Amino acid sequence: METTIGARAANGGVYTRMVLVQVFWAGTFVASEIALHDQPPALTAVVRFILTTAIYMAMCVMLRDLHAAPLSSRLTEIGRGAWLALAAMGFFGVALYTLLLHLGLAASTAAYAALLIPTTQPIFTAILGRLAFRDAITSALVVGLALGLLGAGLVIFGGLSLRDDTVLTGNLVIVAAALSFSCYSIAAKFAPSSLSATENTTISFVFGTVFLLPMPVLMGEAIALGDATASFWLSIAYLVVFATVLPYLWWNDAVRRIGSARTGIFTFLMPPLAVILAAIMLGHTPTPQQILGGALALCGVALATFGWPGRARNP
């Protein structure tokens, strides 16, 4: 009895941290938009991932004693395909995704991103997964895709007072960012199993940061970090610590304790939380059509991910 109560209390702590993870991730779009008010898109991405990568490299050093073989020897055993997977993870999940997200936010708003990214990205991932791994196309996936596309359309075109060419372009770029992150998710399936999740993530961050480094110059951005405001640096600190490092650690702990299925369900909290934060901090209030679109898209994601209610999913 005491063991059961203790387990429930421990799981309660996990559930609390998972809710906080969704709050932190919801704030990513708001913090990014605030940072972009001060500095251009590519430079903001470079600063964020230089700092994030440095922290992840430090984590790898601190965790090195957990592995029987040193990292250097395990790296020499990685084949060309695995290195390509890590490079693809860095390109699609760090460089291209972050650049597209920042460019989209510069033209649109955090509220749009909060509704579009979490709802379209899982749909894209499901489609690419079927194409890459030749999984069966189920009726739940087809209907989920249709609901997701309908919901995304309502989100993109539902803001009648804001609808213009600039915002529409920004929304489409945000959807492209979601597609890029889906490509990252597929590439991650081919990451070397001889490395830990932290090591794979760190190496992909190194690749992504290298891809990002020349972009401020190539995009003709003014580099004036000396003039950056306190709000910019606070936003960067949030993106590095609360949007990346802490959620990653807590998420992996939750997967170990309560399983990936239960952990994944918490991601459905992120869109409404992000919309609420965007409304409070930035004054971006979604229209009823956009809220309906977000709800439909979430239903589509749930259907594509978990299948029809009451039916066992095929392995």
What's residue 250's pLDDT?
84
- CA separation for the pair 98, 110 (Å, rounded): 14
- CA separation for the pair 284, 11 (Å, rounded): 35
- CA separation for the pair 49, 172 (Å, rounded): 24
What's residue 2's pLDDT?
45
- Residue 59's contacts (CB-CB under 8 Å, 6 or more residues apart) are 198, 202, 245
Contact (Cβ atoms closer than 8 angstroms) between residue 298 and residue 151: yes
CA angle at 310 for the pair 308 and 315, rounded to the nearest 5°: 70
Around Cβ 313, how many Cβ atoms within 10 Å? 11
Q: What is the DSSP letter of 308?
A: S
For 180, counting Cβ atoms within 10 Å of its Cβ (0-12 exposed, 13-18 middle, 19+ buried), the class is buried
- Token pair 């087809």 is found at 142
Residue range 10-50, pLDDT digits in tens: 566 888 988 898 889 889 999 999 999 999 999 999 999 99
- CA separation for the pair 312, 315 (Å, rounded): 9
Domain-wise residue ranges, the chain: 2-306
- Residue 176's contacts (CB-CB under 8 Å, 6 or more residues apart) are 100, 104
What's residue 101's pLDDT?
96
What's residue 315's pLDDT?
44
- Residue 253's contacts (CB-CB under 8 Å, 6 or more residues apart) are 14, 17
Contact (Cβ atoms closer than 8 angstroms) between residue 65 and residue 196: no
- CA separation for the pair 230, 242 (Å, rounded): 17
Q: Which segments of the chain have a pLDDT < 50?
A: 1-6, 160, 314-315
What's residue 235's pLDDT?
96
